[in-house]
Amino acid sequence: MNKLFFMEPIIKSLSKKNLLQEIFSGILKGLAILIALTTLWTFFKGFDVFHYLDFGQKIIYFFFFNMLALITGFIICQILWIRSEDIRQERNEEYKAIPIFKYMIKAFGEIYGVCVIIAGFSSMIFVWLKIGRGLYAELIPNLGLVSSDTFLSGLLLFLSAIIISGFVIFITYYLAELTSVLVDIAKNIRELNKKST
């Protein structure tokens, strides 16, 4: 009968020291590599459309598509790699999943914040050059920040992106720290119970 329960050693191995950390650390590193390769492919593939554009359009396309995509991908790869190392180096004898969750939620906030800022910056330039509103402006049509193609409208777009990005990063860091605090409280309660018995 025991032979039928072949999942038992697999499930128990997940509770072993640092196994989950190593798994998720590897997943984040693999994702970072995949994004890096995709970013490079997108960067070089972007030159295929150059022969359809005039000189001015080529400059705009290069700086506000190719270069921003390259920079965004590079930053995201760094965030994933750094958080991957944080997870791998985390040492918690009692809790296996909570440290992973803490760094994953931080990584989410950081990546989201970076993407919003870069999208807001590109939209600001698009508004200033009067060539459109950009992705960020299209995502927030109800804020009334792009009533006209003026310098102030573009600047407000970028400032709102910074504010939204900062707010998201703050919330995700708060949730990560709150998780750590709850773990500390649980540890302290356990220690008090041991001393009282």
The mean pLDDT of 125-150, rounded to a whole number, is 63
Q: What percent of the chain has pLDDT over 90?
A: 27
State yes or no: pLDDT of 46 exceeds 50. yes
Q: What percent of the chain has pLDDT over 70?
A: 71
Domain ranges of the chain: 17-196
Predicted local distance difference test score (pLDDT) of residue 77: 95
State yes or no: pLDDT of 139 exceeds 60. no
Determine the distance from the C-alpha atom of residue 46 to the mean position of all C-alpha atoms in its chain, rounded to a whole number: 24
Summarised one tens digit per residue, pLDDT across range 6-45 is 666 666 666 665 778 888 999 999 999 999 999 998 888 7
Most confident of 26-40, 63-77, 110-124: 26-40
Kindly report the average pLDDT of the chain as a whole number.
80
**Which carries the bigger pLDDT value, residue 15 or residue 157?**
157
**Which carries the bigger pLDDT value, residue 60 or residue 117?**
117
Predicted local distance difference test score (pLDDT) of residue 53: 64
Enter the tokens of residue 126: 């698009």
Q: Are 49 and 61 in contact (CB under 8 A)?
A: yes
Most confident of 46-50, 99-103, 173-177: 173-177
State yes or no: pLDDT of 120 exceeds 70. yes
CA–CA separation, 181 and 14 (whole Å): 24
Cα–Cα distances in angstroms (integers) from residue 49 to residues 42, 43, 98, 130, in the given order:
12, 11, 46, 22
CA–CA separation, 154 and 126 (whole Å): 8
Predicted local distance difference test score (pLDDT) of residue 6: 63
Summarised one tens digit per residue, pLDDT across range 162-192 is 998 999 999 999 999 998 888 778 777 777 7
CA–CA separation, 139 and 121 (whole Å): 14
CA–CA separation, 99 and 97 (whole Å): 6
Give 142's pLDDT tier (boundaries 50, 70, 90): very low
The mean pLDDT of 106-129, rounded to a whole number, is 87
